[in-house]
Amino acid sequence: MPADDCPPPGIALPWADGTFPPVHAAQRATVYDALMGMALHEASHALASDDVPVGALVVSPQGTLLGVGRNRREEGGDPTAHAEILAIRQAARTLGTWRLEGCTLVVTLEPCAMCAGAIVLARVARLVLGAWDPKAGATGSMWDVVRDRRSTHRVEVVGGVRQDECGTLIRDFFETQRGPA
């Protein structure tokens, strides 16, 4: 079978027509909303291990799902087991290369400095995020690692997708951790 006839790597998504993201703004908003729903679902699984509920996924330029991750720091005792890192690792394995050029990372919470650095180093094209993190966010809040003009690679940032849901999930988690006042 010729290479052009091979399906793209990853799992086909319902809207995958061979190009991602969709050209029209309304279609993009609908697709980003659906993807954030998938990331929120993944984030909810982190609650079982008392991990901060953050979920992430990587989508190829063809619109296929390449990697999924959720925070697993508590579960595995690994300080680097952030949702974004795990999704990027899985996407790289799926593609067979560390270069995620043209790919989109969707995450429920603005990435920290470590994750923002990994996004740049992996050559991710686009970051779609839910809630901003004014305390530790490194893609526009506290720092802007992914769009620093001194970097050799810059990332498009689309923020605030399902922001209220993403923010509520995080706030509820931390309120539960703190207990009654």
To the question of whether residue 6 is assigned a binding role by annotation, the answer is no
Residue 175 Ramachandran class (φ > 0 left, ψ -120 to 50 alpha, else beta): alpha
To the question of whether residue 82 is assigned a binding role by annotation, the answer is yes
One-letter amino acid for residue 76 of the chain: G
Task: State the catalytic residue, choosing from 84, 101, 110, 156.
Answer: 84
Q: How far apart are CA 10 and CA 116, in angstroms?
A: 23
To the question of whether residue 115 is assigned a binding role by annotation, the answer is yes
Q: Of 6, 3, 20, whose CA–CA distance to 156 is shortest? A: 20
Catalytic (active site) residue 84: yes
Per the CB < 8 A criterion, the answer to whether 39 and 106 are in contact is yes
Which residues make up each annotated binding site? 82, 112, 115
Active-site positions read 84
Give the residue numbers of the binding site for Zn(2+). 82, 112, 115
